[in-house]
Amino acid sequence: MYFHALIPFKPVNPKTRLSCVLSQEEREAFARAMLDDVIAAVLKSGCSATLLCTSAFERGDALVAVRKEPLNEAINWALAQFHCPALIIMADLPLVRAGDIQRLVSTGKDMAIVPGRGGGTNAIFLKKPRCFRADFYGASFLDHMRIAEECGFTVDVIDSFRMSTDMDEQEDLVEILIHGKGKSREYLEGLGFSLSIEKGRVSVKRSPHEEAL
Amino acid sequence: MYFHALIPFKPVNPKTRLSCVLSQEEREAFARAMLDDVIAAVLKSGCSATLLCTSAFERGDALVAVRKEPLNEAINWALAQFHCPALIIMADLPLVRAGDIQRLVSTGKDMAIVPGRGGGTNAIFLKKPRCFRADFYGASFLDHMRIAEECGFTVDVIDSFRMSTDMDEQEDLVEILIHGKGKSREYLEGLGFSLSIEKGRVSVKRSPHEEAL
């Protein structure tokens, strides 16, 4: 089945909750590395991609639409124009693999949704995207389930640790260093990040000597 | 395939990181409610269960072994006696369902492992349990992968949000109130817990009036 992926992306000053361990320039490069991993999985699963960017941005392997309105309005503007099934997927899911996206898009239901931690939504696959409207932020998983019901959609909730794992806080970086295999891991390791295990708790540390590499 | 589940359980003063929102008595009752959900899923998947308890405890639907040694030693003592496939599963996975356990035990590999967040391991299924040794705490996922390699086991890493979600901190309770369907959710709601959404972040709040119910 042909489908198209929408990936919201913020090129400038993204992931501010990681400011404690990454400079703005590094956060921007890290966001691009995560986007590399997401786009690679999307393309490998046979899908094409459009980035919904908050400011000018260029990529050779995806279409780019620069939209100034807030996230939900930008997504809903895009969905209204779809004549084929659509996947909305967040740009900060560095563990996602093509096979995971295949689990989503091979659903027998009208819609498949991947919950993120803390009530969020990390991906939605819609066979009839024009009927739907996005409502990210807050307990968006519950909101999207309600909107699906209003649309009369049958829904598949996809149970995936890898796709539920987004990157917001320092402790999230642990997951990349343990389970990641792509550009995001390479980028963090290049900055000198490694695992730190103290009193049975796992966190990340950054080697000061490698910052200049 | 017949298999037997080992569920480590601490009846007295468990889940101390939840002390900010639950008294000791409530944490003990909450731990029992989560155990109810895990045992229900295990039994429904056609498996029998033994609890490895740190102190005396009684249940009608599971065998109980009281073991005074630390967790890993207790599990390894039990594994050494197994003549059938074994599932080791944590007692604080209130979102687990019988179908999730079926995903584990129907693996074609020698072992299936479910990572928890932060480098942990939430469940392991072993076709030849006597060769293996448990090494929980710290980055146990990586340790268990290494031990599996030493044993010459082929390994299936099971990608599951529900089974990766254990309950350690207050913010983890959000997942039960959003995705839970069992006794754990019933227990928290009975205490007056509900979702709280502020500035796009989802957390839990507890109604003071319902504490006396």
CB contacts < 8 A, A to B, total 74
- Sequence letter at residue B54: T
Buried-exposed string A31-41: b where 16+ CB fall within 10 A, e elsewhere:
bbbbbbbbbbb
Q: How far is A55 from chain B (nearest CA, A)?
A: 23
Match 């960017």 to its residue by tokens: A53
Let me know: does B146 contact B169? Beta carbons within 8 Å.
no
Contacts of A164 in chain B (CB under 8 A): 161, 164
A14 φ/ψ angles, rounded to the nearest 5 degrees: -85, 170
Element (H, E) at B43: helix B24-44
List the single residue in A141, A160, A174 with the smallest CB-CB distance to B119.
A174
Domains, chain A: 4-166 (3.90.550.10)
Q: How far is B83 from chain A (nearest CA, A)?
A: 31
List the single residue in A142, A160, A202 with the smallest CB-CB distance to B159.
A160
Long-range contacts of A56-63 (CB under 8 A, 24+ apart): A56/A11, A57/A9, A57/A11, A62/A7
Which pLDDT tens digit goes with each residue over B159-205?
A: 999 999 999 999 999 999 999 999 999 999 999 999 999 877 899 99
Q: How far is A84 from chain B (nearest CA, A)?
A: 28
pLDDT at res. B1: 64
pLDDT at res. B144: 98
Q: Which residue of B has its CA nearest to A177?
A: B119
| Residue B213 pLDDT > 60 | no
List the single residue in A138, A160, A178 with the smallest CB-CB distance to B139.
A178
Instruction: Choose the mutation target among A178, A179, A181, A198 for the interface with B, i.e. most B CBs under 10 Å.
Output: A178
pLDDT at res. B33: 98
3-state secondary structure A99-163: HHHHHHHCCCCCEEEEECHHHCEEEEEECCHHHCCCCCCCCHHHHHHHHHHHHCCCEEECCCHHH
CB contact under 8 Å between B178 and A137, yes or no, is: no
Secondary structure (DSSP) of A79-93: HTT-SS-EEEE-S--
Q: Which residue of B has its CA nearest to A195?
A: B139
A interface toward B at CB cutoff 8 Å? 100, 114-115, 117-120, 137-139, 141-142, 159-165, 171, 174-175, 178-179, 195, 197, 200-202
Distance between CA atoms of B112 and B127, rounded to whole angstroms? Answer: 9
Which pLDDT tens digit goes with each residue over B1-32?
A: 678 999 999 999 999 999 999 999 999 999 99
pLDDT at res. B199: 79
Q: How far is B172 from chain A (nearest CA, A)?
A: 8
Which pLDDT tens digit goes with each residue over B130-141?
A: 889 999 989 999
Q: Which residue of A has its CA nearest to B162?
A: A159
Element (H, E) at B185: helix B183-190
List the single residue in A119, A159, A165 with the smallest CB-CB distance to B178.
A119
Contacts of A175 in chain B (CB under 8 A): 117-118
Let me know: does B55 contact B12? Beta carbons within 8 Å.
yes
List the single residue in A139, A161, A195 with the smallest CB-CB distance to B159.
A161
Contacts of B200 in chain A (CB under 8 A): 137-138
pLDDT tens per residue, chain A (213 residues)? 678 999 999 999 999 999 999 999 999 999 999 999 999 999 999 889 999 999 999 999 999 999 999 999 999 999 998 888 999 999 999 999 999 999 999 999 999 999 999 999 999 999 999 889 999 989 999 999 999 999 999 999 999 999 999 999 999 999 999 999 999 999 999 999 999 998 778 999 999 765 544
Q: What is the ipTM of this complex?
A: 0.92
CB contact under 8 Å between A178 and B117, yes or no, is: no
List the single residue in B137, B141, B162 with the smallest CB-CB distance to A200.
B137
Match 């601490």 to its residue by tokens: B10
Q: What is the mean pLDDT of chain B?
A: 94
